[in-house]
Structure 1
Amino acid sequence: MHSVSKQELQDTLQQLNQAIYNHDQWSKDLIRSMICRLPYDNRDIADDAHHHCRFGQWYYGAPPQAFLEHPAFKAIGTEHRRMHQVTAQLLLESASKGSVNPLDYDNFVSATERLRLEIYSFKHEIEESLNTRDPLTGAENRFNMLSRLRELNELSKRGIQDSSIAIMDLDYFKKVNDTYGHAAGDQVLVAWVNYIRKNLRKYDRIYRYGGEEFLLSFPGNGQQSVKELIERLRNGMPEITIEGGETKSIVVTASFGIATLDPSLNVEESINRADTALYAAKKAGRNCSCIWDSTMAPMQNAGEGHLSAISGEINESH
């Protein structure tokens, strides 16, 4: 879900709510037809009825590409098709016999409830994802960052997979705000996050860590492979177009500090290592990436300000 943009999530949620309403209306009309012994709609007994009802028109329309392989979204399709198959049998039975076997009706109700469960499970996941997004950039916020990093750390402890993190800081970002204004600075942040999200694997994540700092997590990747990926990202960032009174294109670079999620340490200490590596990247001239190693001088109070904010009350206005 995190690979879908905030705007796509909002649009999908709005469309899904309308599709749920349409489905509820269809269900009411169907039950009314059976109780009142009214003629059924021939479209409801067709083999492809699940494609042509109004809910199906939404589902088989043009959902975001990332949803097509999402387990909850696929489950909706399975249950929706099954419900229409049960419905067709029920309508034909009602028309031919003038009544419906209670067991067949129970099967119809069960199919409807299973579909409803899958729909609302998917809806809840969209809403939860929106609630954990940074309102400006669409990156995940810090609300659940530590808990997810701890889950990765546990996998490392069990020898299942190693994972790494990187902290990204946009270089000389204050100059962007001072020169072009804070609205332009916001555009730069959004452009960087959109670029990174499009070039990460679907299991990698980006969190807004501070003002212009972001933490990236890479499940199953060692720090050397992460560095190679970071270098591709860093070198591939295009010029950013700033819209405003006068449209301008500027180059905004970034520095990265990389560290392994060390299973012998708590997550906060691994984050401090990435922070120290970021400091080394800045000292090296910025616009580069550094991997933490034991020879690096720890940055004084590295990460303490961030971690105290994370551990305490979460400030989502950053």
Structure 2
Amino acid sequence: MPLSTISTEELPAILSQLDQAIYNHQQWYDAISRTLVCQLPANELDLGNDAHRKCLLGQWYYNNSPTKIRAHPGFIALGEAHEHMHKQAAHILGMARAGMAITTTDYDNFANSLQRVRLQILTLSRELEDIQRNADPLTRASNRIHMLPKLREQQELVKRGVHRCCIAMMDLDHFKLVNDTRGHIAGDQVLAATAHYIIDHLRPYDRIFRFGGEEFLICMLHTDMKDGQELAERLRQGIAEMAIDVGSGEPVHVTASFGLTLLESSISVEQSIDRADKAMYAAKSEGRNRVCAWEPSME
């Protein structure tokens, strides 16, 4: 589930929980350091195989963390780093209890695992702060100002051969008719419902940006054209099947047209966006409610 499914109302509470997680992590580290330096008896909870579940950070992670962030790769990575850290801690605490000298390698491994946990918490927190600053308040999609820097980051990864990246321009068909017949409040509800549907059905690492009006740009990572077309087609079908409740009268039904292209390494990001835009207009001209891939003949 993408982090962008989190509403602007929910973000402050989650960020506060992450701040508390950082504090708890530091308190736990201070207690471990005091135990080692002062040669005190170790806390039995820190020696158990399930120690990562019993510390304050672990209790939050496994029992009280928000459902909406649990499937996010960064949250999963935090759990893995946290469990590894506790194994390192149990190892050096066990050595100390047995009267063995703790080697620099053992201590460095423990210290590095501590830093990884802190880095994972901070990274997750920064992602959420980034969403809070840059999300379009109506649709929860990222705003256009935020789009180009993110796409350029992905283009650099494409250039280095890390992955392929597909982008899609999406536009709601006959959206003006919704505003004209049902009113602008209903139009806003349709925009929000459509964007939320896309956000809910993207993979955790994909991104959606509000390009302007009823146009959105979707960035699909680790995706070639074939997979991109399949994902866009699923989104298109899902939007067409929606019945959007706008509070009065019959539900609103809308369709969307998609234009698809790869984020190329040999041309500018803006040129790739232009290709997706031209493919989207081709989808419009071919009857709307369809997915078209960019072709050189569209230049």
Q: Above 0.5 in TM-score?
A: yes
Query: What displacement does 1:169 show?
Result: 0.7
Which is worse superposed, 42-51 or 263-272?
A: 42-51
1:256–1:281 Cα contact (<8 Å) kept: yes
1:233 alignment counterpart? 235
Query: Taking CA–CA contacts closer than 8 Å with sequence separation of 6 or more, which of the two structures ends up with the larger relative contact order?
Result: 2
Out of 70, 73, 77, the position equivalent to 2:78 is 73
1:285 to 284, 287, 297: 287
Contact 1:50 1:84 in 2 (8 A): no
Sequence identity, in percent?
Answer: 43
Structure 1 segments unaligned to the other structure (5+ residues): 299-318
Taking structure 2 as the reference length, the TM-score comes to: 0.73
- 2:41 and 2:289 map into 1 onto residues whose CA distance is 70
Confirm or deny: 8 A CA contact 1:258 1:289 kept in the other structure: yes
1:10-57, Cα deviation, whole Å (9 max, x unpaired): 553232223334445556677889999999865455443331222211
* Partner AA of 2:168 in structure 1: A
In 1, are the aligned partners of 2:169 and 2:258 still within 8 Å (CA)?
yes
Letter in 2 for 1:77: H
> Residues 258 and 59 of structure 1: is their aligned pair in 2 closer, same or farther, counting only changes over 3 Å?
same
2:130 is matched with which residue: 119, 128, 135? 128
**CA positional deviation for 1:269:** 1.9
Task: Summarize the alignment of residues 25-174 of structure 1 with structure 2, pairs less than 5 Å apart.
Answer: 43-61=45-63, 62=65, 63=67, 64-67=69-72, 70=75, 72-78=77-83, 80-82=85-87, 84-85=89-90, 89=94, 107=107, 110=111, 114=115, 115-154=117-156, 162-174=164-176
2:258 — aligned with what?
256
Deviations 1:126-163 (A, max 9, x none): 32344343333222333442234334445555666554
- The structure with the greater share of residues assigned to helix is 2
**Partner SS for 2:251:** strand
Report deviation, 1:210: 1.0
- Residue 278 of structure 1: how far off its partner (Å): 2.0
After TM superposition, the score normalised by the length of structure 1 is 0.69
Count of aligned pairs: 290
Q: CA deviation at 1:168?
A: 0.4
Question: Deviations along 1:30-87, whole A, 9 cap, x unmatched?
Answer: 7889999999865455443331222211112255332366564145423542465268
User: CA-to-partner distance for each residue in 1:271-294, whole Å, 9 max, x for gaps?
Assistant: 222222222322333222323334
Q: Quick one: distance in 2 between partners of 1:55 and 1:160?
A: 33
Tell me if structure 1 keeps the 8 A contact 2:41–2:97: no
Which of 232, 236, 242 lines up with 2:245 in the alignment?
242
**Distance of 2:95 and 2:161 partners within structure 1:** 53
Change (3 A) 1:124 1:232: closer
Q: Rg larger in 1 or in 2?
A: 1
SS of residue matched to 1:256: strand
Which amino acid is the alignment partner of residue 149 of structure 1?
A: L
> Please, which runs of 5 or more residues in structure 2 have no aligned partner?
none
Which residue of 2 is the match for residue 6 of structure 1?
6
- 1:213 Cα offset (Å): 0.7
Query: What letter is aligned with 2:263?
Result: L
Name the aligned partner's letter for residue 277 of structure 1.
A
| SS state at 1:164 partner | strand
Contact (CA 8 Å) 2:2, 2:203: kept in 1 or not? no
Judge conservation of contact 2:2–2:200 (CA < 8 Å) in 1.
no
Q: Given that residues 261 and 267 in structure 1 are in contact (C-alpha distance below 8 angstroms), is that contact kept between their aligned partners in structure 2? A: yes
Per mean C-alpha deviation after superposition, the further-off stretch among 8-17 and 81-90 is 81-90
Return the alpha-carbon distance in structure 1 between the equivalents of residues 119 and 167 of structure 2: 36
- Of stretches 38-47 and 118-127 in structure 1, the one that deviates more from structure 2 is 38-47
Given residue 73 of structure 1, which amino acid in structure 2 is its aligned partner? L
Matched, 1:210 2:212: yes
Aligned residue type for 1:146: L
Q: Which amino acid aligns with 1:278?
A: M
Q: Is contact 1:45-1:91 (8 Å) kept?
A: no
Query: What whole-Å deviation, never above 9, does each CA across 1:71-115 have from its counterpart, x for those lacking one?
Result: 64145423542465268559968xxx9xxx9989x9599479534
